[in-house]
Amino acid sequence: MNDPGMNELAGKVAIITGGGYGIGKQIALAYARLGAKLALAARSLDPLKQTVAEVEKIGARAIAVPADVSKEADCARIAERALATFGRVDILVNNAGISGPTKKITEMALAEWQEVIDINLTGAWLAARAVIPAMERQGGGIILNIGSGAGRRGFPLRSPYAASKWAMIGLTQTLAGEWGDKGIRVNCICPGAVEGERIERVMRARAETMGVPYERIRAGFVSGAAMHRMVTEDEVARVAVFFVSDLAAGMTGQTVNVDAGSIMN
C-alpha cells in the first residue's frame, strides 16, 4: 500500500467542473501539486484564468474551458478540449453547482427549480456521459461527484438543492454499477457547511427568509456539527485526493461525508 506521493497523479488528466473557485479550485490545486494535468470548466472565464495561473505557478499544466454544464454541447466540448490537449481523460470531478433559491415550494417558480436541477444534477450526468467513452477505451477512469450534506437529509426552504444532491448519490451508485467492470470507479463526497463566501450567502438568505438574525442561523450551522465548526475547502480537497489515489482502488459507489460530524436533523 502506497500513500499518495508528490507524483501520485503524474501523467493523469483531470477535468474539474466549477474549477474556478471554492472547492473546485482547491481540488484543482491539490491535483496539480500531485502532477495532474487539468481541464477546468466553469461559466465564468475570469476565475478560471486565475486558477489556471495558480496551477501553472505550481508547475502543472491547465486549460480553461468556459462552459455551462447544463448544456449537452458544452459538456461534449469540455471532453473534446481535454482529449485534444492532453490525449486522455483519467478523472472527472463533477463539482459545478449552484445554491438556488431559499424559499418554500409554493413561493418558488418552476424556472428556479429547473435551473438548479439542470446544473447540479443534469450537468453531472452530461459530463459523465461525455467522458465515459474515453475512459472505457483507456481501460478505466475515475468519476468523483461532489454532493452535499443536504443530500443526506431534508433541507427546508432549499427543495431543489436538496433534491439535486440526494439524486447525486443515486447517480453515483448507478454509474458505479454500470461501469465497474470497465475499470471506472464512481464515488461521491458530501461536504457539510464549508467556510467561505458561498455558505455566507446561503446563511444570510436563510436569515432573511426566516426573519431571524444572521448570527442565529450561523450558530445553528456550527452547533449542528460534532466538532462545533464548519469544514474548509482544503479538507474537502484532501478527501478528493484520496478518492483518485491508489488508496481508494477498491472503492466505488461510495458516498463519504466531510462535514465535521454533522448531527443536524
Stated as kind and residue range, the H or E segment containing 129 is: helix 123-138
Instruction: Give the CA radius of gyration of the chain.
Output: 18
Q: Is 21 a catalytic residue?
A: no
Query: Amino acid identity of 225?
Result: A
Exactly one of 21, 31, 161, 214 is catalytic; name it.
161
Task: Give the catalytic positions in this structure.
Answer: 161
